[in-house]
Structure 1
Amino acid sequence: PTFTGLQVGSLDVQSSSFDESDPLGEVGVGVKYGVTSNLTLDFTYNPDFSQIESDRPQVEVNQRFALFYSEQRPFFLEGQEIFRSATPTNLVHTRTIVDPRYGGKLTGKIGRTTVGVFVADDEAPGRLDDVSAPSFGRTAQSFIGRLRYDLYGDSYVGAIATAREFGDDYNRVGGVDGRFRLGRTHAVSFLAVGSEHRDS
């Protein structure tokens, strides 16, 4: 469990007094539970990432594409290999989840099937300057689901689905992938993906 406290003060020049705001506090908790010897459930509420190493600076001026920052938060790093596909294409980027109110994750194996399920509720998108905006104060929901069935050796077939919902807007991705070992030196990998997007 974690506890974070904050109190802000300012000096009143005219009265030479120091005015302090009411103290604020936030409590966070993280739980890890072994469902079976090969299946783990993780849950976090209001996680504290203040001790995570800062991102390396990148030039943001005159860029036509979004900058990529690698994931460094332990809750998102653990088990992330389960959500990778057979090709270098990365369908999961958890850095889009900025300030999760809560997050849950189920990862592991059931027989020959690798399972990964992830959900999170992100408070950051609803922090807007315009209080009259329809999305002010709302949260974004994220979901990732992954199944991978082992065939032989390091060969497998799998499926993945991701979704991010924020109000009436959404981004959804679904795909199938696989890897087939052809002897000692050759292998064939494939990935087929479809997506649906709405941004009002």
Structure 2
Amino acid sequence: MSSSDGAGTTRGHRSLRADARRNEDRLLEAAAAAFAREGAGASVKDIARAAGVGVGTLYRRFPSKELLIEAVYRHEVRRLCDSAPHLAATLPPVDALRTWMEDFIDFMTVKGGMADALRVVLTDDNEKTHTRALLADAIAHLLAAVGERSPGRPRADAQDVLMALGGISLMASSEGRRDLAARLVHLLLHGVVGT
């Protein structure tokens, strides 16, 4: 369970050789896609094949499916949080916020596919709180860029936006409707930035 440092990175991630890091990234991306499609029952052999590595490589890095699920979760959180500054720097503020919100819904789809396993693996309330704080910080970064564009408009609270996005993803997931999530994200964005 304690295979991450304070920044949510996989222990040893920084010390991996470049080729090993690429293999790990491919494995985590293939696993995220498989878990989103098939849930926690996704085949480890299929994940390895999709990543272009042998199943032995997967098991050397992630000796159990639970460790793979935990690593995918942390990888997706890190990817999502790291994307906020890039989006803010490369897109107009409202477009950056919209893109991040849509990426969050996709992240929750992956997380939803792993939900049963995550309940077993991620039992630490401190970790859940830490993850929420990281995600809220990413939203706050994007909201600050929107605020610079419309200085007279009251800024939405990042935690409130995060909770609203979580609710949207749960409703859309229970209905099996990604199109519903897109419409609700549009409504939320309108409420946050008035567009």
**So what's the TM-score if we normalise by structure 2?**
0.26
Give 1 or 2: higher helix fraction: 2
**So what's the TM-score if we normalise by structure 1?**
0.26
Query: Higher Cα Rg: structure 1 or 2?
Result: 1
